[in-house]
Amino acid sequence: MTTEPSPGTCFGFAVRSSLPFEYLRVGAGTPLDVSASSAVPDGDGGEVLLQWAPSSRFPLAGRLIRAAPGFRLWVDTWGWFLVDPDAPRVTLPDTPNVIRREERLWSIPAMLCFLARGDTALHAAAVEVDGQAVVLAAPGTCGKTTLAAAFHSAGYRLLSEDTTCVRAHDRPLVVPGPAMLRLRHDVADQLEVPNATPVGNVEDDRVHLALDPATRGDGSPLALRAIVLLRQADDGLRMQRVPAPHALRDLWALSFRLPTDRDRARCFAAVADLARAVPLWNLYRPLTIRDLPATVEFVARHA
């Protein structure tokens, strides 16, 4: 724990740490203590909740273990992340790659912490349109980050690019996440992204960008205006309202949950409430860079 002033907020948490950060926003939030350690947890005890092989969503193998006082997350080549959602507190691996380490902090460790707070995690981007949040939801490789970057390029505020934190309320809210963009090199070469700066010397298949502080805004939650489910079509742009029962399948597939009966019940109730409370749309659009400006304008006008 540190007594130093918070360097900023993310997902409603005010970070308390002496570590460097690139993606935080200004504002207040629940204190979250973040530190780094090279220590390896003692013993192999604990319940393995999730285990995965490398994929497009998680490029490295890993496993999530429930072990008091919270969770242990092991990621191949990185080591151990220790997460105590009740504190809340996260201990990160001690590594010189501080950019990627921060990005991993704002994935599963952060989701475990804000799920314990009662929020819902969706695999989705979110942007601000007319003072409200519009969620752009899709599985990986469906262009949601590229579309979110196009919104940013058009002057809209980016709230999150991969994970969106939704808070139950009289009207559901979106809590802004890290002020970052990660674009494939071929997309970054074709798409002009103003008010963003490349950070770190990260050698992988992405360009890592930190949004300029003047464009980030603060971490205050915004009312959720609509959820847009991204679909591919080659015959122009169109949007179609999705009945709430049909939308449940997509929201369930895009939500992060633990494989326990209790957490499945929590998650289903959360996405059912969300489907009832917020308009959901299917957006059919071409997956081409040249069509991005028209797609941004279309969504902003019709969502």
pLDDT of 105 over the 60 cut: yes
pLDDT reported for residue 43: 60
Residues of the chain with CATH 3.40.50: 120-302
pLDDT reported for residue 201: 66
Please list the alpha-helical segments (H only) found in 157-291: 185-190, 213-216, 244-254, 261-277
pLDDT reported for residue 202: 59
Amino acid at 52: W
CB distance 47 to 39 below 8 Å:
no
Q: How confident is the model at residue 210 (pLDDT cuts 50, 70, 90)?
A: very high
| Class of 120-302 in CATH | alpha beta
Tally Cβ neighbours within 10 Å of residue 68: 8
Distance between alpha carbon 278 and the CA centroid of its chain, in Å? 19
37-92 pLDDT, tens digit per residue, is: 998 887 667 999 999 998 876 788 999 999 989 999 999 999 999 999 999 999 99
pLDDT reported for residue 142: 76
Q: What predicted TM-score, i.e. pTM, was given to this entire model? A: 0.94
Let me know the angle formed at the C-alpha of 178 by 223 and 272, rounded to the nearest 5 degrees: 40
Q: How confident is the model at residue 110 (pLDDT cuts 50, 70, 90)?
A: very high
pLDDT of 104 over the 60 cut: yes
CB distance 91 to 35 below 8 Å:
yes
Average pLDDT over residues 126-130: 98
158-190 pLDDT, tens digit per residue, is: 999 999 999 998 899 999 999 999 999 999 999
23: closest CA among 159, 219, 210, 182?
Answer: 210
pLDDT reported for residue 138: 85
Q: Which residue has the tokens 């990660």?
A: 182
Tokens linked to 227:
């959820």
Q: How confident is the model at residue 139 (pLDDT cuts 50, 70, 90)?
A: low
Q: pLDDT exceeding 90 applies to what percent of the chain?
A: 86
Mean pLDDT of the chain: 93
Average pLDDT over residues 140-165: 93
Tell me the C-alpha distance between 283 and 230, whole Å: 5
